[in-house]
Amino acid sequence: MGLQTVFRAVIMGAPGSGKGTVSSRIAQSFALKHLSSGDMLRANIEAKTGKTAPALSSHTISDLGLLMKSCIDQGQLVPDDVISRLVLSSLRGLEQTSWLLDGFPRTVAQADALDSVYDVDSVINLDVPSQTIRERLTSRWVHLPSGRVYNIDFNPPKKPGLDDVTGEPLIQRDDDSPETVSRRLKDYERQTQPVLEYYRSKGVLETFSGTETNKIWPHVHAFLARKIPGNQQAMGKA
C-alpha cells in the first residue's frame, strides 16, 4: 500500500453514554483500530490477579493488579501514571495505524500525556442525559474477554446470558451497581469535563447529543466520513 494519512480519534462521554457501542460501529465502518482503556484494564487485572489461572498461588497476585481492581470496583479512576503507561504502551508501534481511543484520556493530566506523543485529529463527544445512563447501566451485560457489550432492552444476546460469538457466559460488571454508577457520573463531571474544554480549545471537539445510539450514530458516521481519508473507509455505510 502507498502512503496514507493516519487518522487519530478519541471518543468521550460519561460512563454508559455508548462509547463502546459506537466505537464498534466505527471500527466496522472505517478502518480504525479500537482501543478501550477499560477493556485493557480488565484484561490486565484478569491476567495479574490470576482469575483466569486459578492454579496460581496468591503470591502471584500483583499489587498493581489489586490496586487497579480496587479502584474500578469502587468506581474511582485508576492513577494517571498507571493508566497513561498502559495506554501509551499499547499505542507504541501504531505510528502508521489509524486508531480510536475509547475511555482515555479521562483527566487533563492524561490528555497532556497523550499530547506529548500524538496529536489527536478529532474528539467525538457523546452527550447523553444522566437519567438515560442510569437506566442503561443496570441492564448492561458484557463478555469480558472480548469487551462485547449487550443490553437487555437495546441489543440483547441471541441466547439469554451468553455471548453471541463464543457462547461463553456474560456478566454484569460490579461497578454497574446504582451506587457506583452515581459515583462514576460525579467523577466524570469533576475530572473529565475539563478534558472536553481542553479539546474544545484545540478546535477538535465534536459533540453529539441524544438519548438513543441509533439516532446519534448516523451523525457520527457522516462526520467521520467527511474527516477520514477515502481509502480508509471500509464499508462506509451507516
Ligand X SMILES: Nc1nc2c(ncn2[C@@H]2O[C@H](COP(=O)(O)OP(=O)(O)O)[C@@H](O)[C@H]2O)c(=O)[nH]1
Ligand Y SMILES: Nc1ncnc2c1ncn2[C@@H]1O[C@H](COP(=O)(O)OP(=O)(O)O)[C@@H](O)[C@H]1O
Q: Which does 75 bind (CB under 5 to 8 A by kind): ligand X, ligand Y, none?
A: ligand Y
Cβ at position 36, least distance to ligand Y in Å = 6
Q: What is the spatial distance between Cα 77 and Cα 93, in angstroms, rounded to a whole number?
A: 26
C-alpha cell belonging to residue 97: 495505524
21 binds ligand X (CB under 6 A): yes
Q: Which residues, 124 to 163, sit near ligand Y by CB under 6 A?
A: none
184 is catalytic: yes
Write the DSSP assignment of 58-114 as a string of letters. Answer: GGG--HHHHHHHHHHHTTPPPPHHHHHHHHHHHHTT-TTS-EEEES---SHHHHHHH
Q: What is the spatial distance between Cα 105 and Cα 201, in angstroms, rounded to a whole number?
A: 16
114 binds ligand Y (CB under 6 A): no
Residue 132 exposure: Cα atoms within 13 Å on the Cβ side: 15
Cβ at position 36, least distance to ligand X in Å = 7
Q: What does DSSP assign to residue 204? A: -
Q: Is the peptide bond before 105 cis (omega within 30 degrees of 0)?
A: yes
65 binds ligand Y (CB under 6 A): no
Pick the closer one to ligand Y by CB: 65 or 103. Answer: 103
- Pairing outcome for strands 99-102 and 33-36: parallel
C-alpha cell belonging to residue 235: 464499508
Annotated binding residue 106: yes
190 is catalytic: no
Q: Which does 213 bind (CB under 5 to 8 A by kind): ligand Y, ligand X, none?
A: ligand X
Q: What is the spatial distance between Cα 5 and Cα 38, in angstroms, rounded to a whole number?
A: 28
Annotated binding residue 20: yes
140 is catalytic: yes
3-state secondary structure of 229: coil
| Residues in contact with ligand Y by the rule CB under 6 A | 15-16, 19-20, 37-38, 41, 71-72, 75-78, 83, 103-106, 110, 175, 184
Active site residues: 19, 106, 140, 173, 184
List residues forming the annotated binding site. Answer: 16-21, 37, 42, 76-78, 103-106, 110, 140, 149-150, 173, 184, 213
List residues forming the annotated binding site for GTP. Answer: 16-21, 140, 149-150, 213
